[in-house]
Chain A
Amino acid sequence: EAGVTQFPSHSVIEKGQTVTLRCDPISGHDNLYWYRRVMGKEIKFLLHFVKESKQDESGMPNNRFLAERTGGTYSTLKVQPAELEDSGVYFCASSPRGRRNTEAFFGQGTRLTVV
């Protein structure tokens, strides 16, 4: 079974440019999460999809961030325009719906550097 995959693994962009990160969850996982870790700090929650619906987007830092989940499958996280403070590692995770004791399965992360 394929795990959670994220593209790209690294991205270096200039301030003001746009970047789109992609996450392919484990097939059949209705829950999809985005998290972010900025340098040396804790991993912070960004948002949660259940299928194609945004369940909780309370962690999104501002309106420069837009997340979508087309047809309840893969998800994209677009940053437009990127700022220096957006640099960090962006993690995607997925989990099956309706199981209390399940863990979240993580992708390898996308390291975003804004210069």
Chain B
Amino acid sequence: AQTVTQSQPEMSVQEAETVTLSCTYDTSESDYYLFWYKQPPSRQMILVIRQEAYKQQNATENRFSVNFQKAAKSFSLKISDSQLGDAAMYFCAYRWGTSGSRLTFGEGTQLTVNP
């Protein structure tokens, strides 16, 4: 069975600084996707960034980037130039490559951004 582990229940960062959230996963599949979702206090979860396992290049979306280490089964999220609006619960998630597959989530990391 696939598992996703986020070992940092809470993290904090100073505004404008950089923070890295950790995620590891376990799977025997070769075709899969990894995601970082953000859930702000208003509770609607939104996609931050996605990575396709067959792509070696790390995904980036503006201030958000990932460090995808396939052999180590590691998928960390780096937030650069942190902003107050980045404060949220961040969930790492995995799913098979097949369309419609369900997500497997980690426990989440609560990120606090200090002004």
> Which chain A residues have a beta carbon within 8 Å of chain B's beta carbons?
3, 31, 33, 35, 40-45, 48, 50, 55-56, 59, 89, 91, 93, 95, 97-104, 106-109, 111
**A42-B108, A101-B33 are contacts. A89–B43 as well, Cβ < 8 Å?**
yes
Flag whether B84 is at the interface (Cβ < 8 A): no
How many Å lie between the Cα of A106 and that of B21 in the bound state?
Answer: 22
Set A3, A44, A56, A98: member contacting B99, Cβ < 8 A: A98
**Which of B42, B50, B102 interacts with A45 by CB under 8 Å?**
B102
A42 to chain B, nearest CB (A): 5
- Decide yes or no: A41 and B103 within 8 Å by CB, A100-B98, A108-B43 being known contacts: no
Residue of A nearest to B106 (CB): A42
User: A106 and B50: CB pair below 8 A?
Assistant: no
* Contacting pair B50 A103 (CB below 8 A): yes
A-B complex: 5 closest residue pairs judged by Cβ atoms: A106-B45, A43-B105, A108-B44, A42-B107, A103-B47
Which of chain B's residues 67-115 have a Cβ closer than 8 Å to chain A? 91, 97-100, 102-108
Docked Cα-Cα span, A93 to B45, in Å, equals 10
Flag whether B52 is at the interface (Cβ < 8 A).
yes
Q: Are B43 and A104 in contact (CB under 8 A)?
A: no
CB<8 Å pairs between A and B, sample of 9: A33-B103, A35-B105, A42-B107, A43-B103, A100-B99, A101-B33, A102-B99, A109-B44, A109-B45
B residues within 8 A CB of A97? 99-100
| Residue in B35, B104, B105 whose Cβ sees the most chain A Cβ within 10 Å | B105
Residues from chain A with Cβ under 8 Å of B99 in the complex: 97-100, 102
In Å, the complex CA distance between A52 and B77 comes to 36
Task: List the B residue with the shortest CB-CB distance to A44.
Answer: B105
A113–B44 alpha-carbon span in the complex (Å): 18
Given contact pairs A103-B35, A106-B44, A109-B43, A95 touches B107 in the complex (Cβ within 8 A): no
How far is the CB of B59 from the nearest CB of chain A, in Å?
Answer: 11
Q: Which of A33, A99, A106, A107 contacts B102 (CB 8 A)?
A: A33
On whether the beta carbons of B50 and A101 are closer than 8 Å, the reply is yes
